[in-house]
């Protein structure tokens, strides 16, 4: 019997778009600007960039390499490489934990994405135009306390995500990112232009790039490291699953640089689309998660073109969320497909599980917070640590060299050194910190 041809992306560029789509999401537009705001701005951005370079990029190369070599879902790819190198089956667990982490992230991610969809609707209807800040804040609080409102938007977002994934890798995810990503970039450029013309651009620039290390707490360094994982979609097999469909044998190093640079540039541009508007309206950016859902609509509400550009902004956020959420369930779907369960059934089944978790997140904010906390601070760093150790220490360096497609030179040696020593050490620090916080929290409740 003939083996079916392996599923691959149309080209290396589709892979880059899909992986960038996974990386660029609520993390860049919702989380990054507010944690930058909360942690003092410039110095935080610098530490975050260092984390991307020293932990994010090396681990991403490792993940794609494992996926492309294993050519399967994260569990089977890890198992195959482990078997080949004489390792134990336990390594397969890394893929398994990652798949579960993906579903857990989806359980709160789709709720926030639902808010963004609701805001597209509100902005397009012009409901924020001329509204005063108290009204806008009251609306957000109303949304947060209305289970039924959130349920509608959460369900709609979950359904759209599942529909894209169910349509397949090339025809669903690949097609979607080929349309969504250029659109996302276009919207972002327009918004940065609008912000440059109508906002206080220099205040925004100063805020993001003035480095005052005295304002940087130890906690901020750890938050920056955790965010490097979250924003690059690392530690849970999303990028590994996408890597399994990587066509050909091009160097992974260059591809990863492109993805990491795009993700970082988009996070910085998102900041430049938001902060100047916030400052021009005499508002402050250090207000936490409400930055995007309260401060920014307040800014748009009293600016010319606010209805159009506000709508554009929330459409941008929704697109970014969708191109990420599809990668949260793909690893699990790929695994179920490998068990001969049809793709449609796998996708809607996993989508339903995530949807139920989302309903719990809507109703119990403690569930929402716990899912966010456990995935970002424990599961992703743990997954990343294990992947770094697996590729850095378990696999044969010659095989690794061959499979990354990199030249055998100083760049490869530097990558391997960072992967073996620097990244695990950095991740361990984040991880222990999270555990420390964890026990402190527990002590608080005892
Ligand atoms: N990288 C996404 C963001 O920044 O919003 C979040 C994410 C997507 C994390 C996919 C992990 C993942 F596998």
Give one DSSP letter per residue of 11-59, joined into a string.
Answer: SHHHHHHHHHHHHSSHIIIIIHHHHHHHTTSHHHHHHHHHHIIIIIHHH
In a domain, 344, yes or no: yes
Q: What mean pLDDT is reported for the chain? A: 92
Distance 375 CA to ligand 1 centre (A): 11
pLDDT, tens digit, for every residue of 222-266?
Answer: 788 889 999 999 999 999 999 999 998 889 999 999 999 999 999
CA distances to 27, 86, 271 from 221, in Å: 17, 37, 19
pLDDT for 377 beyond 90: no
Number of domains into which the chain is organized? 1
Nearest ligand 1 atom, CA 28: 4
What pLDDT sits at residue 442? 63
In a domain, 383, yes or no: yes
CA-closest residue to ligand 1 atom 7: 233
Q: Look at 87-91, 142-146, 272-276, 300-304 and tell me which has the smallest mean pLDDT.
A: 300-304
pLDDT for 8 beyond 80: yes
What pLDDT sits at residue 357? 98
**Rounded mean pLDDT, 177-196:** 96
CA-closest residue to ligand 1 atom 10: 233
In a domain, 4, yes or no: no
In a domain, 3, yes or no: no
Q: Which residues line ligand 1 (CB under 6 A)?
A: 22-23, 25-28, 102, 105, 230-231, 233, 236, 238, 324, 327-328
In a domain, 271, yes or no: yes
Between 435 and 78, residue with greater pLDDT: 78
In a domain, 445, yes or no: no
CA-closest residue to ligand 1 atom 11: 233
Distance 203 CA to ligand 1 centre (A): 29
**pLDDT band with cut points at 50, 70 and 90 for residue 303:** confident
CA distances to 23, 53, 177, 228, 265 from 16, in Å: 10, 18, 10, 18, 15
pLDDT, tens digit, for every residue of 261-301?
Answer: 999 999 999 999 999 998 998 888 866 778 899 989 988 99
CATH code, domain with 432: 1.20.1740
Residues of the domain holding 355: 12-440
pLDDT for 436 beyond 80: no
Task: Tell me what percent of the residues of the chain surpass a pLDDT of 90.
Answer: 76
Q: Look at 13-27, 330-344, 350-364, 368-382 and tell me which has the smallest mean pLDDT.
A: 368-382
**pLDDT band with cut points at 50, 70 and 90 for residue 1:** very low
pLDDT for 438 beyond 70: no
**Rounded mean pLDDT, 184-191:** 96
**Rounded mean pLDDT, 321-325:** 98
Distance 239 CA to ligand 1 centre (A): 10
Beta-carbon contacts of residue 404 (< 8 Å; ≥ 6 apart): 61, 65, 251, 252, 253, 412, 415
pLDDT for 310 beyond 70: yes
> Which sign, positive or negative, has the C-alpha torsion 111, 112, 113, 119?
positive
Secondary structure (3-state) at 314: helix
Beta-carbon contacts of residue 181 (< 8 Å; ≥ 6 apart): 17, 20, 21, 323
Q: For residues 130 and 69, give the distance between their C-alpha atoms in angstroms, rounded to a whole number.
A: 56
In a domain, 380, yes or no: yes
In a domain, 446, yes or no: no
**Rounded mean pLDDT, 17-37:** 92
**Rounded mean pLDDT, 107-133:** 94
**Rounded mean pLDDT, 121-130:** 92
Q: Look at 264-278, 385-399, 408-422 and tell me which has the smallest mean pLDDT.
A: 264-278
């Amino acid at each position: 019997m003939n083996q079916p041809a392996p599923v691959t992306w149309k080209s290396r560029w589709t892979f880059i778009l899909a992986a960038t789509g996974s990386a660029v999401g609520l993390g860049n537009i919702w989380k990054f600007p507010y944690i930058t705001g909360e942690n003092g701005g410039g110095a935080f951005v610098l530490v975050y960039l260092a984390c991307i370079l020293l932990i994010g990029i090396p681990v991403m190369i490792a993940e794609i390499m494992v996926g492309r070599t294993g050519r399967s879902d994260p569990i089977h790819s890890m198992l195959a490489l482990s078997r080949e190198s004489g390792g134990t089956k336990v390594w397969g667990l890394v893929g398994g934990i990652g798949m579960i982490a993906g579903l857990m992230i989806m359980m709160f991610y789709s709720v926030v994405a639902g808010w963004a969809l609701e805001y597209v609707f509100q902005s397009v209807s012009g409901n924020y135009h001329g509204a005063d800040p108290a009204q806008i804040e009251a609306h957000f609080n109303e949304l947060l306390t209305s289970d039924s409102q959130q349920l509608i938007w959460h369900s709609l977002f979950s359904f759209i995500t599942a529909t894209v994934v169910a349509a397949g890798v090339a025809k669903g995810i690949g097609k979607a990112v080929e349309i969504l990503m250029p659109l996302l970039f276009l919207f972002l450029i327009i918004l940065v232009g609008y912000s440059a013309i109508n906002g206080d651009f220099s205040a925004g620039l100063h805020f993001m790039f003035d480095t005052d290390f005295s304002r940087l707490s130890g906690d901020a360094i750890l938050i920056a490291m955790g965010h490097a994982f979250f924003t690059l979609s690392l530690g849970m097999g999303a990028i590994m699953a996408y890597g399994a469909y990587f066509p050909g044998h091009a160097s992974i190093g260059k591809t990863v640089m492109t993805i990491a640079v795009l993700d970082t540039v988009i996070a910085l541009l998102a900041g430049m689309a938001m902060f100047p508007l916030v400052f021009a309206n005499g508002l402050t950016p250090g207000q936490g998660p409400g930055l995007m859902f309260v401060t920014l609509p307040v800014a748009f509400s009293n600016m010319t073109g606010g209805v159009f550009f506000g709508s554009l902004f929330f459409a941008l956020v929704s697109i970014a969320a969708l191109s990420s959420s599809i990668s949260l369930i793909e690893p699990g779907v790929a695994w179920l497909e490998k068990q001969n369960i049809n793709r449609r059934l796998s996708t809607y089944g996993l989508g339903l599980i995530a949807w139920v978790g989302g309903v719990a997140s809507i109703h119990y904010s403690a569930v929402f917070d716990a899912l966010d906390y456990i995935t970002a601070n424990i599961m992703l760093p743990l997954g990343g640590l294990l992947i770094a150790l697996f590729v850095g220490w378990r696999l044969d360096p010659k095989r690794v060299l061959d499979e990354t497609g990199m030249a055998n030179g100083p760049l490869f040696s530097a990558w391997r050194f960072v992967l073996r020593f620097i990244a695990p050490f950095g991740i361990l620090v984040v991880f222990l910190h999270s555990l420390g916080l964890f026990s402190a929290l527990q002590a608080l409740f005892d």
